Amino acid sequence: MTSSVLERADRAPLTTDELAARIARDIPAGSYVNLGIGQPTRIAEHLSPDAGIVLHTENGMLGMGPAATGDDIDADLTNAGKVPVTELPGAAYFHHADSFAMMRGGHLDVCVLGAFQVSVQG
């Protein structure tokens, strides 16, 4: 029996932070990227600001910035998981139905889904 490429018997499974960093490394510079609810939102913490990656949230924001803290928190600016975020210059807002149409219509380069967003049939 051969072992899977993903199997890592020599170490513990990846932590959620290691997984987010690993996925972030796979996103090409200049991509438009949707980060789904849950674990995918952590990927934003591992993207280089110099990569020119534009983040999209399922709840209707294109141009999401880093997580908001302190005085930067605005209850109206959240990612798909309802975590406060900032907006980058040129950010745009739209209805969540349009947001999903952007994803399903192939208008984004990468879409990272959370575990509960994936169909049992793939």
* pLDDT of amino acid 5: 53
Query: Which ranges of the chain have pLDDT less than 70?
Result: 1-8, 115-122
* Set 7, 45, 58, 87: catalytic member: 58
**16-22+29-114 carries CATH number 3.40.50.10490:** no
pTM over 0.95: no
pLDDT in tens, 13-38: 889 899 999 999 999 999 999 998 88
Bridge partners, 84 (sequence order): 78
Which residues neighbour 85 within 8 Å (Cβ) at sequence distance 6 or greater? Answer: 44, 57, 61, 64, 65, 66, 67, 68, 77, 78, 79
Domain extents for the chain?
A: 16-22+29-114
For this structure, is 18 an active site residue?
A: no
Taking the C-alpha atoms of residue 100 and residue 59, their distance in angstroms, rounded to an integer, is 8
Contact, 44 vs 73, CB < 8 A? no
